[in-house]
Every structure is written in structure tokens, then in C-alpha cells.
């Protein structure tokens, strides 16, 4: 059954990230778009439109593109640049469309759990559209991607978290973190002052929405204008925290680049040295989708209300996903075999591995972050902490600069440890990780020795005797204080 639903009350329309997002009402279709009916039970009461270049072969990628509030599939098709990019690189498009029957301003209900979670409402309707498009065009199920603007961006984030087994990559344009909101009131908060959660807390929201046991996540591009007053730029930071946490790669950039249109690209590589999360910050751009009309290789789209002439986001997103033929995976080199630890000192770890045919160099990663490049099959990591365990992997790089698959991780522990003393109140000991709190009392980390009440009035000296292990040393400390 189609599940026709009552409109949400008008106040939701103000929240749907409109700020006037395209004054024209939804159009039924646009030249080049084909409406598809009967694509599933459609519990979200959405309409499905598709586009495919002439002569598209089976096994091509598929991109789902979600419009913003008061927009339509036809409007997004006409302005976003995705049709030009689809023609250039050869992939099919699915453009879902919502309506006033779902939301007063025709926004995807990214903030409603009944529409944004796996197997429910609009989220399930979009998943059914993917299944129908795959059957229609013979698309590669391993190369299905999703993108969206504003409210469509918020729904994109939700779908990437709820269906990581469906989407290989996503792009969130002027959008919000997955499951930032679960009501009208919290949606306003997310738009204007998103919660400053830790990366792990943001990651947990996404993990709780995904199938149990999920360990593989989509690659995500985040687009944000620095002058956006509708969805504040802080959302891009929280999105970065969420997706880097899911990938387990931390929030330290692998590199930063300057692009056209006043755009700064910040890249966060996975353990194999391939971009997993990219943040595109467009200087001075307000709320909308970045386009760059013209006939140049890197140009696409057309300007309009909330289609802003800066840079072609669709082009750069498609390249990030590997839809240009370069590929994130492509003909990547295999993982090096035989990675072993050849020796350790207090501050160094030596590594060696077997050569990979076709490798021009190798990248070395510690804890998922790239720490160096080796021209041959050995590497020494330096300036490490004493008595500390590290995890390493390596990947081969071909002559074109493409990074291959990562090796299995090996661990190495540096030798030695210099005991250190720390004198502070119990509150600061807990904050520094030297102690922990339980039931209002404080205990030394590692040894579990009781230290009294958790407050700023109780002071103790702790001696660290090994990594993560502290003992009370109030009567005297044999090591120099620090």
C-alpha cells in the first residue's frame, strides 16, 4: 500500500531548512526525466524519477540525488549539474521527490524517526527506488552513491548511516549530521547551534542506526559555505567528527588543498591512504548547492535560487567517489604480504615487508594515520613514546600515485619506560586519565588504589610505573616530577 500520509503542521515548513529555498513549487517532471511508478510499497509516499545517458551499459554506477525544501526532482535535475556529470562519466540517476502531503514545504523529513530510519517511511521508499533502478539499468550494486542538499543533505546523512550496506559513498551539501535531530524542536537546534558532541558520540548515533555488526562505512564528502546562516558551518565540523570516527581515522587532516571558487578541501585518508572523508569549505558561500556554469571540464550546473556560482560540487563529488574512471579501487595494487617488525628501541620501530609488482613506493600507516613513504620494502618509525604499543600497516603505490590495498596490521611495542610523578587534586587526576571516578570516589588508574572523594580539595601524588598504571606516592616520589 502507498501509505498516503497527512501533511505535517506548518511550523515544520519553517524548519525544513528553507530560508526561502527556491520559491517555486515542485514540478511534476523535467525534460530528460522519466517517472517510475510501482517501484515498491512506497511507505514514504514519494515519487521516483530517473535519468540515464543513451547507451548506458550494464554494470554502471548509480547516483541518488535528493532535492532541498520547496524544490522538486525536476528543479534539481535542471540546476545541480548531475545530468552533465552523468553524461560525461556514464552512470544513472535517481531523483526522489517528496511533496506537501509529507511536509508543508516539500522537504524530506530528515528529523522524523518514522521517515529517517532503516526500513521505515521515506528511507525505505528511497531504498526501494535503488532496488528498482538497479533492476532497470543493471547498475553495479557496489557503486551506488547518494547526495542531497539541505534537508536532502540531512536525509542523505541518515541514509548513509542506516544503509551502509547499500551506499558506497555519499555527499552531504549544506546538511547535518546523521540523527542530529528526532523532533521539530531539536531540528532547529541542529540547524542553528548543533550539539558539540564528541566524535565517538556522533559515531555512536550512526552505528546505532546501522545493521548490527557493521564495520564498513561509505566514503563521505561534506560541502559547506562559510556564510551559511540557515545550516550553520559548525554542522560541517560535527559531520566530519561523525564520519572520521566511523572510519576510525581521527580528526587530523591528511592534507589540505585550495580549489577554485574560494574552496578549501580538507582530506582524511583511510588506513590504505585513500580519501575516506573530504570536507569542502566554500569561502563566502551562503546556503545552497555549489555550481559553476560553463563548458569547462570542471564546470557544471546552472545558477538559480540557492544554486550558487562558486565551484561545481557535482563534478568534484563524482571524482571523489571514483566515478570518473580513476576509481577509488580501480586496478589498485594488492596489499603487501609479510609485514613484520624487525626491531624496536625506546623510540623507534623497524618494519619490513615483501615487494609488490608494479609498486613505485609504499605508504606506512601508524594507527590508521599515514606516517611516511618508503621507496623500498623497509621503514623505521621514529620519535615514539617509550613502552608504548603501536599498530602498523603498509600499502603499495603505483606510478600514477594510486594507493593499493592495505596490509594486515602488525603491532610493535617500544622498549623502556621512565617513571613519572604527578601531583594534583583528584578532579584533575581524573580529567587527565590518571585516575577514574566511581560513586563519587576516586581510584588510581591501573592499580585501583582508593584516593578519596572526587573533588578539588583532595590532593595526591601518583607515580606512573608503566603505561596506564599509577600507584599512590604521597610519601615520596623517586622520579622527577613533570
Asked whether 456 and 467 are in contact (CB, 8 A), the reply is no
Asked whether 264 and 256 are in contact (CB, 8 A), the reply is yes
Q: How far is CA 35 from CA 46, 139, 427, in A?
A: 11, 18, 62
Q: Is 447 a catalytic residue?
A: no
Nearest to 224 by CA among 262, 198, 195, 252: 262
Distance CA 407, CA 355 (A): 12
Question: Which positions ≥6 away from 215 have C-beta within 8 Å?
Answer: none
Distance CA 340, CA 451 (A): 42
Which residue do the cell numbers 621503514 mark?
379
How do 62-66 and 307-309 pair as beta strands?
unpaired
Which cell numbers in the block locate residue 403?
594507493
Q: Which one is catalytic: 106, 150, 174, 407?
A: 150
By annotation, the residues acting in catalysis are: 150
Amino acid at each position: 500500500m502507498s501509505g498516503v500520509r497527512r501533511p505535517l503542521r506548518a511550523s515544520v515548513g519553517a524548519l525544513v531548512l528553507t530560508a526561502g529555498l527556491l520559491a517555486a513549487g515542485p514540478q511534476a517532471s523535467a525534460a530528460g526525466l522519466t517517472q517510475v511508478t510501482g517501484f515498491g510499497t512506497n511507505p514514504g509516499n514519494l515519487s521516483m524519477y530517473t535519468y540515464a545517458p543513451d547507451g548506458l551499459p550494464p554494470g554502471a554506477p548509480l547516483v541518488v540525488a535528493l532535492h532541498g525544501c520547496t524544490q522538486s526532482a525536476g528543479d534539481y535535475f535542471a540546476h545541480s549539474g548531475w545530468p552533465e556529470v552523468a553524461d560525461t562519466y556514464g552512470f544513472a540517476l535517481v531523483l526522489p521527490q517528496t511533496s506537501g502531503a509529507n511536509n508543508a514545504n516539500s522537504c524530506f523529513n530528515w528529523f522524523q524517526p518514522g521517515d529517517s530510519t532503516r526500513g521505515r517511511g521515506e528511507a525505505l521508499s528511497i531504498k526501494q527506488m535503488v532496488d528498482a533502478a538497479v533492476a532497470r539499468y543493471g547498475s553495479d550494486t557496489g557503486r551506488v552513491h547518494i547526495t542531497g542538499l539541505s534537508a536532502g543533505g540531512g536525509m542523505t546523512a541518515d541514509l548513509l548511516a542506516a544503509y551502509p550496506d547499500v551506499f558506497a559513498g555519499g555527499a552531504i551539501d549544506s546538511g547535518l549530521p546523521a540523527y542530529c535531530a528526532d523532533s521539530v524542536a531539536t531540528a532547529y537546534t541542529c540547524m542553528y547551534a548543533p550539539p558539540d558532541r564528541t566524535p565517538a558520540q556522533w559515531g555512536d548515533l550512526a552505528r546505532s542506526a546501522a545493521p548490527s555488526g557493521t564495520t564498513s562505512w561509505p566514503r563521505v564528502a561534506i560541502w559547506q559555505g562559510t556564510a551559511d546562516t540557515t545550516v550553520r558551518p559548525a554542522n560541517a565540523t560535527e559531520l566530519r567528527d561523525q564520519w572520521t570516527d566511523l572510519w576510525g581515522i581521527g580528526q587530523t587532516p591528511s592534507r589540505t588543498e585550495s580549489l577554485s571558487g574560494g574552496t578549501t578541501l580538507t582530506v582524511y585518508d583511510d588506513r590504505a591512504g585513500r580519501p575516506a572523508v573530504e570536507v569542502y569549505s566554500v569561502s563566502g558561500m551562503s546556503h545552497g548547492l555549489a555550481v559553476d556554469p560553463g563548458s569547462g571540464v570542471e564546470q557544471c550546473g546552472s545558477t538559480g535560487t540557492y544554486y550558487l556560482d562558486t565551484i561545481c560540487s557535482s563534478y568534484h563529488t563524482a571524482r571523489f567517489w571514483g566515478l570518473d574512471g580513476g576509481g577509488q579501487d580501480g586496478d589498485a595494487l594488492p596489499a603487501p604480504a609479510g609485514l613484520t617488525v624487525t626491531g624496536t628501541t625506546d623510540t623507534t620501530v623497524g618494519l619490513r615487508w615483501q615487494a609488490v609488482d608494479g609498486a613505485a613506493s609504499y605508504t606506512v600507516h601508524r594507527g590508521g594515520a599515514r606516517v611516511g613513504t618508503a621507496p623500498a620494502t623497509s621503514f623505521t618509525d621514529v620519535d615514539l613514546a617509550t613502552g608504548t604499543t603501536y599498530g602498523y600497516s603498509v600499502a603499495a603505490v603505483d606510478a600514477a600515485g594510486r594507493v593499493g590495498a592495505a596490509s594486515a596490521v602488525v603491532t610493535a611495542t617500544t622498549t623502556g619506560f621512565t617513571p613519572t610523578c604527578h601531583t594534583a587534586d583528584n578532579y584533575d587526576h581524573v580529567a587527565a586519565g590518571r585516575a577514574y571516578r566511581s560513586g563519587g570516589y576516586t581510584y588510581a588508574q591501573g592499580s585501583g588504589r582508593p584516593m578519596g572523594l572526587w573533588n578539588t580539595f583532595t590532593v595526591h601524588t601518583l607515580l606512573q610505573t608503566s603505561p596506564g598504571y599509577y600507584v599512590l606516592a604521597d610519601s615520596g616520589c623517586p622520579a622527577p616530577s613533570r
